[in-house]
Copies of this chain bind each other. A is one copy, B any other.
């Protein structure tokens, strides 16, 4: 049997299971992705209530893989381990590495023979500050560190999204993080506040004026003082009312303002927390990371790189830390 063939043997089923989606990966015995499947059956759209909903969604997405390879281990990360998930994997306190994730994992019967091992989320609990939580990003980070050794000693990872996360890595561990509700706030302001009323859709592509409005929002954030947020966002209305900005780019202005606020705060916290200056990386959906990269550029802060979702590799590292990955020769027995 050739090495090439050996490498194609499946070694793990990995689930990235969030609120609004379920993604399943069939990973080969070198951690490579052999197949990817995705459904909208996140926690909010399960086919049945309770555990039966998780079991059915899992059987639908991965049942045939297990029929072919019944001994495959199964791991999962994301909101599937929350209090509203399949089985709760309680938050683990920082500092944390992938070994700690494995030690604090929980198992749940899959309904089709094997157990599913679920990763915990992380809790940051500092004196003088409210607690903060992460669930799902810790797996992505495990993947990012495994594929980017330069990040292990010290790094700042910025993960834009509905709830953006700023994560500090020190000596291979997640030592600190902060959540920002940037994406969700943008969405509720556009959909549900008076700011959305003037926001017409662009009649045509106007990349330069949209880009300028975004930059103007970032600049406004750069000059913000404590508490200014609910004042500054009102400009996304007044700039339209007074025709200083065309209505189709008011949304870009608001986006720049919100991302700018996040960057101003995140950078200040990062520089206060880091003992060692390390690289700054963006991790997430590429077009959103691009927008963040533009905002960093406007603020004059260099970004070392952009990583697309490293969840499959993170789940692989989690499975390795659990001792679930057997060397290729085992698979050949």
- Name A residues whose Cβ lies closer than 8 Å to a Cβ of B: 83, 91, 123, 125, 130-133, 163, 178-182, 184-185, 188-189, 191-194, 220-221, 224-235, 238-239, 241-242, 244, 258, 260-266, 268-269
Contacts and interface: CB of A to CB of B under 8 A. Distances in A.
A132 B238 contact: yes
B182 A193 contact: no
Nearest to A267: B227
Nearest to A185: B230
B264 A226 contact: yes
17 contacts: A123-B242, A125-B242, A132-B238, A178-B231, A181-B194, A181-B234, A182-B230, A184-B193, A185-B233, A188-B188, A191-B192, A192-B192, A225-B226, A225-B265, A226-B265, A229-B229, A230-B262
A122 to B, nearest CB: 12
B178 A227 contact: no
Nearest to A260: B227
A180 B268 contact: no
A131 B238 CA distance: 6
A interface secondary structure, majority? helix
Number of copies: 2
B131 A239 contact: yes
Contacts of A230: 180-182, 185, 229, 258, 261-262
A265 B181 CA distance: 20
Contacts of A133: 238, 241-242
Q: Which of A132, A229, A241, A263 counts the most chain B CB atoms within 10 A?
A: A229
Nearest to A83: B241
A229 B191 contact: no
Given A131-B242, A188-B188, A227-B262, 16 more contacts: A123-B242, A131-B244, A133-B238, A163-B234, A178-B231, A179-B231, A180-B230, A184-B194, A185-B193, A188-B189, A221-B227, A224-B227, A226-B226, A226-B261, A227-B261, A228-B265
